[in-house]
Each structure stands twice: as structure tokens, then as C-alpha cells.
Structure 1
Amino acid sequence: MSMAETLKADTDRLFTRKRLTNFAIPGAVLAYLVYVFFAFDVPGLAQRASLENARTLVADSYSYKTHVTRDNRNGEIEVAIEGERKGRYPEGTAPDWVAMGETTQIDLGDGHVVFFGPETITYDIPGYGLVEATPGRSGVNAILPEGDLPDWINASKNRLAITTEAGRVTITRNRSEVFRYFTGWELFWFTLDSPYHGLSTGEVATRALSGEAGAIVSDIWNNGMWRHKDVVWAIFETILMAFLGTFGAAIVALPLAFAAARNFSAFGALRFAMRRLFDFVRGVDALIWTIILARAFGPGPLTGALAILVTDTGTFGKIFSEALENVDNKQIEGIASTGAKPIQRYRFGVIPQIVPVLLSQILYFLESNTRSATIIGAITGGGIGLMLTQAIITQKDWEEVSYYIILIILMVVLMDWFSGWLRRRLIAGDESGR
């Protein structure tokens, strides 16, 4: 075979291999994605997904419910925002769409009217008809219009639930409840027992200028429904956990990094031990350390800070030791030529070289740990993460969940801006901080 033919054969084999590789890699990725699609039961997930529940969840995030509840055993009626005692209307009072009396009339709008009678509850539903229900010891005796039961009515012996666009009515043996949605976050500033509730912004501003500013701020700060005071303290705890954990880890990791760096530690066994220590503490996730430390020290923000400190000590130790191994020896030799002692060589020959790397990484991790502290706080019982978890578990006041999520996002954005500004001031020397 001639040289030209041999070269052509080798070229053909090369191109064949490349073509197979180019087709094999996408094929393998596609096969993996198909496996994941069925392994995680994506078709079943799509079938189980409920758009109605999703709509309800979204609606709950920007609206609130006013509950009208009757105790079927004694006939007492109470009206409360979100059904909470802290949002309960004073006895004998109610919003204008609720007419209290022997027979209480609840106007849900658009022709939907519910009556709480002495014995029987009636609901006149436009386009469907009159629904009557009489709760008693034997259950709920319901009389419905003839025909098939619509999907928005759930009826059984002991319970009747009707959900319409106007609101929801639930009747059981012991309790009858109606709630109606309204857009907004009610009682966000002032609760019902505040003298400033119901006043316009202009009226509140006028009172503030008249010498009532302190009382107004106190009512907002001590709001029992939205707990602004507790929320501010929880955010402070979250930031404090991130700050203590991050900077504590940096302080611990820096001297250990010298022992792990090749050009500063002559003992191979010591370097090996330090590097394995860094691998161990950073190899275990911060959430795992949180659970372990919570068993040892109990719940609290300090436990969360310690979990961040332990994990970041390993990460910082690795980063700092690598930075130390890349320092310029000429600068150290120049300091040594002046007769400087080893500590002085480190202070003036090494530290100035690695400070930009150290500060950059520390400030980045401070920003990242602010997010992590939210989740860690949910486990250790501290910070805004705990309040968010509690609000989610109740599955009742999703507007509070939205409020906490918005605050967490703002907190992360603020920390991102602050760390970037500080990094520019300390490292780049940008006086404007832009």
C-alpha cells in the first residue's frame, strides 16, 4: 500500500472516530435525560399537579381572607381576619358586608348571600339555586337543588363544603364558617385595636405631625399580626449567623493554611494532616453540621453560626493555602534582606500579597452564607428561616410567606451590594464605591 493510501486510510479512520464521538455524546445525554424522565416519574408528576391548588396558592400570596364563624353549639358568631384571634373584630362589630342579628346575613357579592339562621344555614347561589344545611348531633342534613352534584360542592354526612368565586362555605356539626377573599395585606400596619386602623395615609401623616409619631411607630412596630419587631430581629439574627460563621472561619483557617502550604510548612505529615482536616470539615455539608451541632449545643443562632464556621474553615483553609503557595518569593526575600524576623516577613512580605484573595473570598462567602443562614436557621430555631418555615407549615397565611420571601430576597440583594461595595473599597481602592 502506498504512502498516500495509508494516509487516506488513517484520515478516514480519524474522521470516523470523530463522527462516532460527535453522535455518541449527544446520544448518551439524550438517553440519560430519557432515563431521568421516567425514573423521576415526570408523567405522573404532571398528572398529580393541580392547577386549582396553584391558583389558590398564588391568590393567597397577595390577598387575605375574612372569616365569619358560627359555633353551632351555642350560636355565637365571630368575625376575624384570617381567622386569627389577633385579627378578631370586637364583639358586636363586623365589616359592612356582614349584618349581625338573630339571623346573620353575609353578602359575598355578585348575588351570593349566606344566612346563618338559628338552626339552618342557607346559601343562595346564583345560577345554581338555594342550598340549605342544618347541622346537628347526627351530622349535617343538607338539601341541595336536584341534579348532579357540581365539582365545587363536597357533601358528606358530617360535612358540607361549597367553594365558589365569591368565597367558601364550610359546615360541620360543630361549626359553620364562611370566608371571603380581599386583595391586599390587611392589618399590615395597624391591627383592629389600634386607634389608627382605617385611617387614610394623609390622616395618619397629619396625626404624626401633631405629635403622635411615637405612638404610630409603636403600633406598627408591635403589630401582633405581622410581627414586624420579631421579623426585624430574625433578619438581624440571620445576618449575624452569616457574619460570625464567615469571619470566624477565616480567623481559624488563616493560621492553619500556613501549616498546609508547601512553601511554609517543612513537615510533610503536618501538611497532609491539615489538608485532610480541611477535606473532612468541608466535605460534610453545613446542614449536616447543623444537625450534629444542634444535638450537642441545642437549638439557637449560635449553633447555626458554628455550623457555617466549621464548613467554611475547610473551604477557606484550602483556598488560603493555595494562595500562600502562589506568593512571590522575591518580595519575601526583599523583606528578609532588611533583617526582618519570620513574623515580620509574614506580616509585610506575605499578607499584603494574599489580602486581595482573602478579602474577595471572605466577602463572597459572606454573601453566600446569608442565603445559607436562612435554611440553617429553620433547623436550629433562629432567624428569618424559622419564621418562614412556621408560616409554610401552617398553610394558612400564605401572604406572610410572601412577605418573608420578599424580605429574604431584599436581604440577599443588600448583602450582595454591600459585599461588592466593600470589595471595591478595600481591594480596588474605589473611593466612589460604584
Structure 2
Amino acid sequence: MERSKTDISALRGTSHHEEQRLDEQYPGVLGLDLKKRLLGPVLSLLVVVYLGLCFFAFDVPGVMEKARGDMAQLFALDAYAHKVHAKYQFKKADQGFVVSLEGNRRAIYKEQPDWIEQSRGQSSILLGEDGVLHFADDVVTYTHPKFGEPFTFKVGDGVPQFIGGAEADWLKVSKTQVNARPSLYTRIWLTKSKVEVHRYFVGWENFWFDFDSKLNGLSAGQLISLAFSSERLDPDVSNLRFMFNEFWMNSEWQHGEVYFALLQTLIMAVVGTLIAGILALPLAFAAAANVNPVRLARTGVRRFFDFLRGVDMLIWSLIFIRAFGLGPLSGIFAIFFTDTGTFGKLFSEAIENADKKQAEGVQATGASPVQKYRFGLFPQILPLFISQMLYYLESNTRSATVIGALGAGGIGLKLIETMRTRQDWENTLYLIFLIIVVVMMMDQLSGWLRRKLIEGQA
């Protein structure tokens, strides 16, 4: 060993005494053989190679090239803001600018907003920090605060024409239309048939009540005063009940359907986890070597656990959806099938690792085999049983959302419905927020139950 160290020190250009000092200061480092010294760099190189293969296998450059950052911005904007359309149609010039929510014909504002001024064939639309748009005599003039010269367009007589103004990267002029986006919150759209302005405002419009509801637009103080007023809005129900019905039956946000779907998701998670725990516990005793002496039976039960948990929960859900159709029953079966295998493996290993002395002490008192395991083994695995079930209950709340999106119902199916339209991103964000709140509540509840049950058992 001394010779090898001397050789190493000679190769490194280090004196023998310096080598001894370093060896005493960092024991076990200088004496490492070549394989151990190369292990770290080789593993690092393998990780880099693996990441490089993934980079090209998943075509990251192609994905980044096809990515639409502008569309992502609009989707994100639609998730926390609502859009108001102001549209002027040349065939209906007598109507002037018609203002609606999201361009919906059923959601036309009866009163003009304060940012639109119309009088004697002239119109002005105030766009806040994005300037102002004037429309008169078939000429649209847009003044932007960052440009000294206004942008002027000729409209109303065929294809709109750009007749004056500076160049801007946010201004797109084609043969058929003019599309201007001076900012993320403003769009000006000119065609041969209309002049249309889109403005985004932060907030979820009509979240509490429908657009045409009697309660829409009322302040919190007005609603509180109305709730306790003797004059009823509906002679058949109280004002408070009427308010709840208007909120619960909101056709745009569908609060009633959303919370019912959320309840379905919770039922799937709770019932599936509970059935899995009840079935897995006796099977775990049958799979434990210190309980079941028959090796063939133990092996059969363990392979059954492998079969159940070897198939992913999503695959089970697809199988049961085909078997039972759409609905929470398919989700419940998928959860308890997968978790039965997982619980069985965890519980059987816990039983095998339990202290034998406690069971032997119970047996020494003349207890039967059932009593031996009931009072000698079961109390030892009970904390693990409770802890794992509560943990998987919290996890299955999220899993039930994914299963529901495949067709098992619940909040997951609602989430997919809002995403398919590619317009209701505010509803999507609302559902995601509810899912996060439910998962946080389940986490708090499971932690509280775990402490109560385990401490109570102790």
C-alpha cells in the first residue's frame, strides 16, 4: 500500500510526506482505485448522453419551432380576463357600434360603456393606454400615444385601405383585412363589412349571475340589502333563495353542475380507496410469510397483487369504461383494482417486518391463531395501514380527475369539455382552482385524521 501511494505521489508530482498529510486529512480518497474514481464522471457522461437522446427523440427543436407563443398569450389572457366586442356593420349603419360580451348575440349590452362615444355619425372609442380610435365618414383614424402620426384607413367601400401612418410590427395589412394588435388587451379589426374593436378587461364576467339576470351588475351592498328586503323579486321564493338559485343555475359558469361533478370525483376517490384497503388487508395476511406457511398460496396472492398494480390505473379505467360505460362506477373500479395490489404489497411487507416477540407473547397466553394475529401483529401495522390509506386517498383525488377526463365523469370530464371549446379558458382556470382547493382540503383532513387515529391508537 505504501508503495502504491508512493507511485501515485510520484506520478502526481507530490512528495511522500505531503501525500501522507493529505491521506490523513482526507481518509479514503487518495487510495481509491481507478474504477471508483471514474464512476462519477462516467455516470455524469451517461446522464448527458441520455438527455441528448431525449432532446432529439422528442424533437425539441421542431416543437419549439412550431410553438405559438402568441396563441399561448391569448389563452392565458382569456383565463383571467373577459373580452368585450364593439362592432360596427356597414349594412346596419343606423345601429352604430353594438357592444357585446365575447361577441355573443345573446349578451348585447343595453347601455353603451363609458369608453365609447357616439353622436351624429361620428364615433370615438377610448382604448386607455393604447390611444383612441375615431370613425367618421368611412374613415378610421387610430391615434397611438407612442406614434406622432395617426394611422388612417379607408373603409366602407370594399376592401379596407391603409392610406396613411407609420409602420408598426403589430399592424398587419392584407388584401382582405386590417388586423392591428397594439397590445395584448386591444385588437382593431377592419374588413369590407365591419369595423370591430376588442378590449380585454381583467376579471371573470358574469361569474355570480347570468348576463340577463335581474341581479347582474348589482353591488355587494345592493345584494345584501335586497336579500333582507320585504319586496320579493319572485313571489314564490324569498329573495335569499332567489339569489342562491340564480347563482347555482348560472348557465355560463354552471356552478351547480360543477360542484356535483366535484362531488362525483370525491366519491370515486373515497369509495375506491376504501374498498381497496378493505380487500387488501386480509389478502396481505395471506401473502405474508410469517402468517401463511403455504408457499404456493403466498406466491399466488403476491402474483395477484402484481397483476393488479402492474396495469396502470388509466388502463383499468379505459377497460371499465368499455365494460360499464361512462360514469363514476368505472372510476371506482379502476382505483380499487390498482390500489388493492399496491396496498396488498405494502401491508404484506409490513406484516413480515413486524416484531415477532409481541405475537409470541400473545400466543404464550393461550390465544388462538386469530387472536395471535389480531392482538400481536395487527396493532403494529395499524399506523401504516391508516397512514398509507389516507395518503392514497389524497393522491386518488387527483387521479380521479384524470380518470374522469377519460370518461368516468366528475370534474375531469367537465375540465375536458371547457378545454375542447378553446374559448372557455376562464372556466378551465376556475375548475383547476377548485381541484387545487379540494386537494389541499384533503391533505389537511388526512393529516388531521392520521394524527387523531394514530395518536388515539397509541
290, 304, 309: which is aligned to 1:277? Answer: 304
Equivalent runs, 1:343-422 vs 2, <5 Å: 343-422=370-449
Q: Over alpha carbons, which structure has the higher Rg?
A: 2
Query: Which runs of no fewer than 5 residues in structure 2 stay unpaired?
Result: 10-29, 231-238
Aligned to 2:331: 304
**Cα shift readout 1:186-233 (whole Å, capped 9, x = no counterpart):** 111122322222222222222223363222222222222222112211
Aligned to 2:51: 33
Deviates more, 1:156-165 or 1:229-238: 156-165
| Backbone CA RMSD of aligned residues | 3.4
1:220 is paired with a residue whose SS is helix
Aligned to 2:16: none
**Cα shift readout 1:19-42 (whole Å, capped 9, x = no counterpart):** 322332223323333333344344
Aligned to 1:258: 285
Q: CA deviation at 1:74?
A: 6.9
Aligned to 1:207: 226
CA distance, structure 2, for counterparts of residue 247 and residue 121 of structure 1: 70
Aligned to 2:180: 162
Aligned to 1:80: 100
216, 220, 226: which is aligned to 1:197? Answer: 216
Aligned to 2:154: 132
Letter in 2 for 1:5: R
TM-score (norm 1): 0.84
CA distance, structure 2, for counterparts of residue 116 and residue 216 of structure 1: 44
Letter in 1 for 2:3: E
CA distance, structure 2, for counterparts of residue 144 and residue 174 of structure 1: 16
CA gap 1:326/1:197 in 2 versus in 1, 3 angstroms = same
CA distance, structure 2, for counterparts of residue 318 and residue 288 of structure 1: 20
Query: Which runs of no fewer than 5 residues in structure 1 stay unpaired?
Result: none
Equivalent runs, 1:211-290 vs 2, <5 Å: 212-290=239-317
**Cα shift readout 1:375-411 (whole Å, capped 9, x = no counterpart):** 1111125122222222222221322222122111111
CA distance, structure 1, for counterparts of residue 391 and residue 411 of structure 2: 21
Q: CA deviation at 1:121?
A: 8.3
Deviates more, 1:97-106 or 1:123-132: 97-106
1:429 is paired with a residue whose SS is helix
Equivalent runs, 1:99-118 vs 2, <5 Å: 105=123, 107-110=125-128, 111-113=131-133, 115=135
Question: Is 1:429 paired with 2:456?
Answer: yes
Aligned to 1:184: 203
CA gap 1:121/1:418 in 2 versus in 1, 3 angstroms = farther
CA distance, structure 1, for counterparts of residue 296 and residue 330 of structure 2: 32
Q: CA deviation at 1:47?
A: 4.4
CA gap 1:257/1:177 in 2 versus in 1, 3 angstroms = farther
- Identity of matched residues, %: 43
Q: CA deviation at 1:249?
A: 1.0
Contact 1:279 1:314 in 2 (8 A): yes
Q: CA deviation at 1:115?
A: 4.9
CA distance, structure 1, for counterparts of residue 324 and residue 156 of structure 2: 55
Q: Which has the higher contact order (CA 8 A, sep 6+)?
A: 1
Contact 2:150 2:166 in 1 (8 A): no
TM-score (norm 2): 0.80
